[in-house]
Structure 1
Amino acid sequence: MRKTIILSAALLTAGVTGLAMMSPALAQDVAKGQDLFNHKCAACHQKTGLGVKGAFPALAGDPFVQGDPEPVVRTVLQGRGGMPTFAALLSEEQLADIISYVRQAWGNKAQAVDPGFVAQVKANAHPQDKAPTVTH
């Protein structure tokens, strides 16, 4: 019984911490994220999120996009391969809107991220850090 209570408390604490980093996307934020995506990302990843085979990875249905949000945020902040960095080009709110849109568009079912989480990842990034290498 005691183990169950301790485990329940640990899971509750982890859940509350996770909620502080992520929030459900509001309809207006999704619309802003879609508009920003269409202007900043769709040339490569396509409006459909299907990318261009062999050149630009699909985001639709991608386990990386739907997984842990921290490496996704880092990838958008720091770029990867031919993808440019967006850290200096967009605000944390704009980055959160785009990332939240991508994590919820085209059948993706991941939680939205908030600007505070983007700021936290940005603050914890070291210049020598590179975005993770992921095969798509």
Structure 2
Amino acid sequence: MTPRILISLLLLAAPLTLPAMAQDGPARPDGKTLYAKNCAACHQANGRGIPGAFPALAGNDFLAGAPVEVATVLLKGRGGMPDFSASLDDAEMAEVLSYARSSWGNRSGAVSTQEVLAQRNALQLPPASRSRFGNQH
């Protein structure tokens, strides 16, 4: 078999094996999906909350404030809100915060994974464990 034929055969066989190797695992959820799964039950899909029970995120001045402050709420909880430090990793927290800060008329900037990680470290919290019982509802 000539080298040219061998190379042609290898190139023909490559598409059969490469896709399985090229996969990076499941796609990470976006901020909207994370919000729907973790936040909407209380704060509602429209961000308006439930008066007297769960605060609105739409037009919320605190949410529009410093990224470190809003990240702290997800990392430690606040009032009746549970912490999500064990169930959401830093990238997921950044995604959901960025989504909320730019939805329902909110016009605040994105929160970066590095900002959430820095605050997690400042609060001396361990990385997310992915436990389905991680957030303390």
Q: 2:111, 2:66 → 1: CA distance? A: 11
Secondary structure of the 2:53 match is coil
Amino acid corresponding to residue 94 of structure 1 in structure 2: E
Which residue number corresponds to residue 90 of structure 1? 88
Deviation, 1:122, is: 0.7
For residues 1-136 of structure 1, the aligned pairs below 5 Å read 32-125=30-123
Q: 1:123, 1:69 → 2: CA distance? A: 15
Q: 1:49, 1:41 → 2: CA distance? A: 9
Q: 1:85, 1:115 → 2: CA distance? A: 17
Q: 2:65, 2:88 → 1: CA distance? A: 23
Where does structure 1 differ by over 4 angstroms across 4 or more consecutive aligned residues?
A: none
Q: 1:95, 1:34 → 2: CA distance? A: 11
Structure of greater Rg: 2
Q: 2:100, 2:75 → 1: CA distance? A: 15
Secondary structure of the 1:65 match is coil
Unaligned 5+ segments in structure 1 are: 1-28, 128-136
Deviation, 1:68, is: 1.1
Deviation, 1:62, is: 0.6
Deviation, 1:70, is: 1.0
Amino acid corresponding to residue 77 of structure 1 in structure 2: L
Q: Which has the higher contact order (CA 8 A, sep 6+)?
A: 1
Secondary structure of the 2:37 match is helix
Q: 1:116, 1:70 → 2: CA distance? A: 10
Q: 2:73, 2:64 → 1: CA distance? A: 13
Q: 2:40, 2:83 → 1: CA distance? A: 15
Taking structure 2 as the reference length, what is the TM-score of the superposition? Answer: 0.68
Secondary structure of the 2:63 match is helix
More helix by share: 1
Aligned residues between the structures: 98
Q: 1:43, 1:74 → 2: CA distance? A: 20
Unaligned 5+ segments in structure 2 are: 1-27, 126-137
